Every structure is written in structure tokens, then in C-alpha cells.
Amino acid sequence: MVRDVAMASRIISKKVMGMAGAGIVAFTLLLAFLAVEHTTMVNVRAEEQSNGKDVVERIELSVIGNAIQNIKPDKASISVGVEVQEKTAGDAARRNAELMNSVIEAVKALGIKEEQISTNYYSIYPVYEPRSKAEVCITIYPPPPECQEQVLVGYKAVNNITITMDVNVQNIGSVIDAAVNAGANQVYGVSFFISQERFDAVKASLLDKAAKDARVKADSVANALNMKVVGVKSVNIMDGYYYPTPMYAREAPATTPIIPPSEQSVSASVQVVFWLE
């Protein structure tokens, strides 16, 4: 009997499969499609929920931190020159060269080395003077063009040099006096500055202080807004700089007292963009 029941079941199954095979296949494909679609929708919702929990609105805050330090200048530059006028350009050039060579030898005698001297300007140009063309022209100012002409009277040669010195080693006033006594007739000025080596030595310390200054400012703003600093987006190191102190003089007395400034300001800046939440 059991065998008969089993055989009957197989016969019924074959008939059912034969009658509705296509429908069963279609139903199976539909279930598979719904299963795949259902799984995708669940993943999307999970991603949206995850984003909703993790993503917090952030605000960018750009801050510039500064640091300043006063340092005594260790370098000075003196600008002196020779200016002569002669009838011809050749005579002006030769006379200027003679005087400038004397100036250079005089400052070298004080211990100034060749590499401390550099030419910053040299020129030879014609010199003209206005002359009246005729005595019958009326005397008015400015005179009419037909009553005046430019007459070549000579040539001027100008040679300017810069002498760079160590403030703590050589006497600036003595160098000026030696240059003037040797033939320099122009003293354009003295500038005090901090050497690059000295500046580089304090630059790291200034950048550290500038970065800390930027963070203090960012924390202050964040606290005022009931927020907090949670990260850094970008950092831009701005070039440090200092302020040279110039001193100008047109003439040098017999003994020239030059007193360097006690200190000069050196600074560095850092621009930081922070994230606030």
C-alpha cells in the first residue's frame, strides 16, 4: 500500500508539473526578483540611516596666527657714490674711475673685503644748459621756445656702491669718513638689517608660536559659537619678514657718529583653516 501511495504521489506530481510547469517557473522568477529588490532597498535605507548618524554639519574657519620677536640687527649697508662732470664722456669716465678706485681702496684699508662691496648704479649722460638765442626776446617765464636752446656743456659720470658690514665688527662711521675723504661726494644712506642666517635661526620658533596663536584664536571663536575645533583642513605658511631701519644723509661730517637701532621686529604668520562642529 505504501508503494501504491508513493506511486500515486509521483503520478500526481508529474501531472501537476506538466499542467502548471510554466506557471511555477514564472512564480519562482518573481520570487527571486522580489528578493533581490527587497535586499537593495534595505541596503539603501541602512546607508541613509548610517549617513544620518555620522554626518554632522561642519563650518570652515580661516585664522591667521602671528608671532613677533625683536632682534638686534647684525648687518648694515652703506650707499656712497662719486659724481663728476667733465667736457667729454671719456674724461668723465676716467675721472670717476680714479676717485671710485680711491674710495674702494680706502674702505678696504679698514678691513672691508672685496665681497662686501658691490656696484648698484653706474651712468654716464650728457648735461645740457638752457641758453638764450637772441637778446631781443622778451623776458618772461617760461621763455618761448624760439628764444631758448639747450646747449651741451659736458658729461656727468655717476658711480654708486654699496658696502655691507657686520655691525659688531666694523665701525660704520669710520667707513663713511674714509670713503668721503677718498673722493666720495655722495652719501645716500645707511640701512640696518638682520642677516638671513640670523633670521633663519629664529624662524622655526616664530612659526611654532604663530601656529599656536592661530589655534588659540580658533578655540576662542568656536567657544563663542558654542562649537568646537575638530580638525584642520589646510595650513599655509606665510613668509616671515622684518623691517630694515634706514638712515639717510647727504653729507658726512669730519667724524660721523652712526648708532644702530637697538632692536628690529621680525615676524612670521601661519594661515590655518579649521573645521568646527
Q: What is the pLDDT of residues 23-67, one digit of tens each?
A: 433 434 333 433 433 332 222 222 333 445 555 678 999 999 999
Confidence of residue 260 (pLDDT cuts 50, 70, 90): low
CA-derived radius of gyration, the chain: 44
pTM recorded for the entire structure: 0.59
CATH of 59-71+197-276, one of 3.30.450.20, 3.20.20.70, 3.30.110.170, 3.40.50.300: 3.30.110.170
Q: What is the pLDDT of residue 21?
A: 46
For residue 249, give the nearest of 96, 120, 117, 80 by alpha carbon: 80
The three cell numbers of residue 154 are: 659736458
Whole-number Å distance between alpha carbons of 44 and 247: 74
Helix (H), strand (E) counts: the chain = 4, 8
Residue at 215: amino acid letter: R
Please give the pLDDT value at position 35: 40
Average the pLDDT over 236-257 and give the result.
57
Highest mean pLDDT pick, 43-52, 148-157, 175-184, 258-267: 175-184
For 116, phi then psi, to 5°, come to: -90, 0
Q: Which residue has the cell 540611516?
A: 49
Rounding to the nearest 10 degrees, give the CA dihedral for residues 65, 71, 73, 74: -110
Q: Where are the domains of the chain?
A: 1-55, 59-71+197-276, 77-192
Query: Topology of 77-192 in CATH?
Result: Alpha-Beta Plaits (3.30.70)
DSSP class of 199: H
Q: In whole angstroms, what is the distance from residue 227 CA to residue 30 CA?
A: 53
Give the per-residue pLDDT at 134. 62
Beta carbons of 193 and 260 less than 8 angstroms apart: no
Task: Tell which residue, 17, 67, 102, 100, has the closest CA to residue 212.
Answer: 67
HSE of 140 in the Cβ direction (CA atoms, 13 Å)? 9
Can you give the pLDDT at residue 143?
A: 66
pLDDT confidence band for 114 (50 / 70 / 90): very high
Helices 89-108, 172-182: axis angle to 10 degrees equals 150
Cell numbers of 189, please? 644712506
Q: Which residue has the higher pLDDT, 225 or 201?
A: 225
Cell numbers 645740457 label which residue? 128
Question: Per-residue pLDDT for 273 more than 70?
Answer: yes
* Mean pLDDT lowest among 14-23, 61-70, 104-113, 161-170: 14-23
The yes-or-no answer to whether 59-71+197-276 and 77-192 have a common fold is no
